[in-house]
């Protein structure tokens, strides 16, 4: 059921914005930190919209339109780390039995994963007679995620497709999208002094969801990225195991040998 126009012009404008600085971070699930580690955090999210309805022909033909774009953006932090040795040159461990590491100065990088979506609706309602009304509506819900210089968000949970960036970012990102479109035609009729009511609806639905991997260097990397694009599971380009770090969590690959001076 959607809104319809009337004999009066009515509309509204709305918007919401949430900066990541005001978001509460989830409980961090720690794991062994390797040479490359990553952390994702919400950067911002929001939406804005407007709607308007009114008469085209008073008492006969009405219209209603609405549009609402929205966006979500995460920041992904990438660090290169080195183990912290003790006086004997052995790796130190903390109170939770995790190997102590420290970021290598000057190696921190930041990337973004984002999604942009749009919802729109258009509706015409025609009053044929006292007992017959016809309504034609179109509803669309396209969205795109990722692209040049950006990672995409997974469609199943809205988290970034990757947390630990192992390799060239442009070889790991994907461009995801979806084009949803619905057309509907509805007639409402009444008979026998409104004792018999008849509604008939005819609809057409389109849903296209392409996932385009960026060009990767090497056949193995391309296969790994196509698996991620198809299944939605996060894989690194050099390890077959999925990296299941959720929003606000950290992740890493197995540690390489420590470097000491």
Q: What is the pLDDT of residue 240?
A: 30
Q: Identify each DSSP E strand in 130-221 by its residue range.
A: 132-140, 143-146, 174-191, 196-208, 211-213
- What sign has the CA pseudo-torsion 18, 22, 27, 30? positive
Number of H helices, E strands in the chain: 2, 11
pTM equals 0.72
Radius of gyration of the chain (CA): 26
- Residue 216's pLDDT band, with cuts at 50, 70 and 90, is very low
Q: How far, CA to CA in Å, does 38 sit from each of 88, 222, 254?
A: 29, 22, 13
* pLDDT of the residue at 237: 32
| Predicted pLDDT of residue 214 | 58
Confidence class of residue 213 from pLDDT cuts 50, 70 and 90? Answer: low
Task: Grade residue 28 by pLDDT with cuts at 50, 70 and 90.
Answer: low
Q: Which residue has the tokens 């009511």?
A: 197
CB 187 within 8 A of CB 132: yes
pLDDT digits 0-9 by tens, 155-176: 888 889 988 888 888 888 888 8
Residue 224: helix, strand or coil by DSSP?
helix
Per-residue pLDDT tens over the stretch 113-134:
999 999 999 999 999 998 999 9
- Separation CA 111–CA 172 (nearest Å): 12
Q: Cα–Cα distances in Å, from 19 out to 68, 112, 151, 170?
A: 19, 14, 19, 26
Q: Which pLDDT value is given to residue 242?
A: 33
Residue ranges in 29-133 assigned as alpha helix (H):
none
How high is the mean pLDDT of the chain? 80
Percent of the chain with pLDDT over 70: 77
CA-CA-CA-CA dihedral for 53, 57, 59, 64, to nearest 10:
-20
User: Which residues, 6+ apart, have CB-to-CB distance to 97 below 8 Å?
Assistant: none
Domain boundaries, the chain: 16-117+144-178+214-249
């Amino acid at each position: 059921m959607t809104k319809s126009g009337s004999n009066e012009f009515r509309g509204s404008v709305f918007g919401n914005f949430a900066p990541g600085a005001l978001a509460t971070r989830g409980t961090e699930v720690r794991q062994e930190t390797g040479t490359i580690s990553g952390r994702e955090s919400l950067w911002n999210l929001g939406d804005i919209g407007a709607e308007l309805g009114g008469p085209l022909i008073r008492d006969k033909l009405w219209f209603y339109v609405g549009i609402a774009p929205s966006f979500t953006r995460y920041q992904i932090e990438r660090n290169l780390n080195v183990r912290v040795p003790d006086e004997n040159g052995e790796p130190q461990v903390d109170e939770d039995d995790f190997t102590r590491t420290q970021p290598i100065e000057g190696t921190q990088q930041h990337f973004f994963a984002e999604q942009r979506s749009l919802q729109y609706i258009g509706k015409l309602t025609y009053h044929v007679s006292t007992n017959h009304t016809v309504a034609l509506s179109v509803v669309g819900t396209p969205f795109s995620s990722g692209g040049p210089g950006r990672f995409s968000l997974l469609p199943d949970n809205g988290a970034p497709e990757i947390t630990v960036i192992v390799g060239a970012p442009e070889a790991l990102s994907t461009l995801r999208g979806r084009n949803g479109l619905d057309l509907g035609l509805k007639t409402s009729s009444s008979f026998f002094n409104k004792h018999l009511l008849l509604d008939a609806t005819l609809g057409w639905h389109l849903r296209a969801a392409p996932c385009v991997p960026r060009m990767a260097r090497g056949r193995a990397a391309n296969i790994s990225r196509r698996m991620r694009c198809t299944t939605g599971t996060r894989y690194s380009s050099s390890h077959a195991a999925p990296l299941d770090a959720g929003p606000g969590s950290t992740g890493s690959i197995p540690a390489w040998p420590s470097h000491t001076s």
